[in-house]
Amino acid sequence: MNSRFAPSPTGYLHIGGARTALFAWAWAKNQQGKFILRIEDTDLARSSKASVAAILEGMSWLGLDYDEGPYFQTEHFERYKTVISQLLNSGKAYYCECSEKRLQELRDGLMAKGEKAKYDGHCRHKNLSSGVVRFQNPAAGNVVFTDLVKGKISVNNEELDDLIIARTDGSPTYNLTVVVDDFDMKIDVVIRGDDHINNTPKQINLYQALGWKLPDFAHLPMILGADGSRLSKRHGAVSVMAYREAGFLPEALLNYLARLGWSHGDKELFSTAEIIELFELKNVNKAPASFDADKLLWLNQHYIQTAPAQHLLDELAWHLQKNQIEITNEIDIFKVIESLRKRSKTLVEMAFGLKMFYQDFTTFDENLGKKHFKNKAPLELLLAKLMVLEAWTAAEIKAIIEKVAEELSVGFGKVGQPFRLALSGDGNAGSIDLVAELLGKDKVLKRLQMALEF
């Protein structure tokens, strides 16, 4: 049982596209069928190699692997030509030479009468041999199909136009290419956004004219932004890779997308394996789904807290490289990750928190420095005591902070805060005793000295 994802390479992989890809992927995997990737690049003016690369990158990051492809429609032109000839020869398609002017007048006339703008079949029986090629849509009867998400749909053929299937230059149009490829690729269910639902009856008529077995169709409801309008750039980041940049884990985004219009009881957390195991088209909602950024962040935090440290490190690597943070063996990265994961909602926060362990700095935050380093006594006393500390553990370090506070008759914070600033440079650090332990004695003493010179 095969499904496919058929993006047009005219931009990045968007949240909506990724959700479509995920559902088609999950369905195929669940059925132990093939998931096929087909790039619909026939619109040469709008397609680009960079977009193809961006789509592949997004899918690969999300782990949406395909069993076949990527196929490119531009490599199938001969096949489309053959099918168009077949339709012409069997009288199911015809050439049309109507001028743009005539078509415009026709449209205006029909619309003035309150009728649907539709081609009037002017060239249908003229036996022309050039121009655009139109499919001769059946004149009467209904196209009826049961969409696996939306249910039974019936459209009267009188509503449907004699569709252009080839332009004057012979190039095929979307409805023709999609039918040919879905048939050739033995697609069992066409899973796509419901923005294409109006095309489906036209495509069904093409299948029937060609004598081809119909696939099933499943049209996914659209995704809305918080304001109830269709999710778009206006609502913030919509490209999958922007979520990577913002520090999301792929499994968090995948889990989030899975629940965007699909459910399995009231379960919220799905591993990738569970998505595959439990996915059913009948549980896709008919109504549009709303994008909820807070929920996505909540999921991300959940996965950051629970993921194996090695996996976090693998995903972090991309952020570290981007920020030129180099992990050295001096400090155990896994201990650092453990110390940070509870405080981090995103990998960006985590990478940011990692920085102080692997990058020395030369200055402190000016305002915080003025505030916390004014009184040197706590830092001086800390330095003196830490210098001679032998068992370099968080517990011992904590005891020293407490002792310094006690000797100076101040609260723990009056020592902890300057210490935190001294070690981090900007005051952003977790539990200070643990941070000091992880940093190691050398770095701690150096940074304390630097703070004293502030």
The token pair at 126 is: 């003229």
Three-state SS for 46? coil
Instruction: Identify whether the C-beta of residue 132 lies closer than 8 Å to the C-beta of residue 168.
Output: yes
Q: How far apart (Å, rounded) are the C-alpha atoms in residues 190 and 186?
A: 10
Q: Which is nearer to ligand GLU, 196 or 443 (CB)?
A: 196
6-25: which residues touch ligand GLU (CB under 6 A)? Answer: 6-8
* Nearest-approach distance from CB 176 to ligand GLU, in angstroms: 12
The DSSP secondary-structure symbol of 369 reads: H
Per CB under 6 A, contacts with ligand GLU among 15-74 are 40
Q: Which structure tokens are listed for 435?
A: 């941070």
Among 59, 84, 149, 178, binds ligand GLU (CB under 6 A): 178
How many C-alpha atoms does 131 have within 13 Å on its Cβ side?
A: 19
**Which residue stretch of 3-11, 379-387, 398-406, 424-432 sits at the interface with ligand GLU (rule: CB under 6 A)?**
3-11
If one asks whether residue 275 binds ligand GLU (CB under 6 A), the answer comes out as: no
Rounded-to-integer distance, Cα 260 and Cα 280, Å:
14
Contact 7, 64 (CB under 8 A): no
Phi, psi dihedrals of residue 156, rounded to the nearest 5°: -75, 135
Q: Which one among 19, 76, 192, 447 touches ligand GLU, defined by CB under 6 A?
A: 192
Q: Which lies closer to ligand GLU via its Cβ, residue 135 or residue 419? A: 135
Q: Where are the alpha helices (DSSP H) in 70-112?
A: 77-89, 100-112
Residue closer to ligand GLU by CB (options 40, 162) is 40
| In the complex, least distance from residue 182 CB atom to ligand GLU, rounded to whole angstroms | 7
Of the candidate residues 81, 196, 302, 371, the single one contacting ligand GLU (CB under 6 A): 196
Which residue lies nearer to ligand GLU by CB, 73 or 346? 73
- DSSP secondary structure letters along 315-352: HHHHHHHHTT----TTS-HHHHHHHHHTT-SSHHHHHH
Q: What residues pair up with 144 in beta bridges, in sequence order?
A: 154
Q: Least Å distance between CB 3 and ligand GLU? A: 10
Piece of the chain touching ligand GLU by CB under 6 A; list 2-10, 117-125, 283-291, 333-341: 2-10
Of 5-13, 104-112, 247-255, 413-421, which segment contacts ligand GLU by CB under 6 A?
A: 5-13
Q: Are 437 and 394 in contact (CB under 8 A)?
A: yes
Q: Which stretch binds ligand GLU (CB under 6 A): 1-9, 106-114, 281-289, 397-405?
A: 1-9
Binding site for ligand GLU (CB under 6 A): 6-8, 40, 178, 192, 196
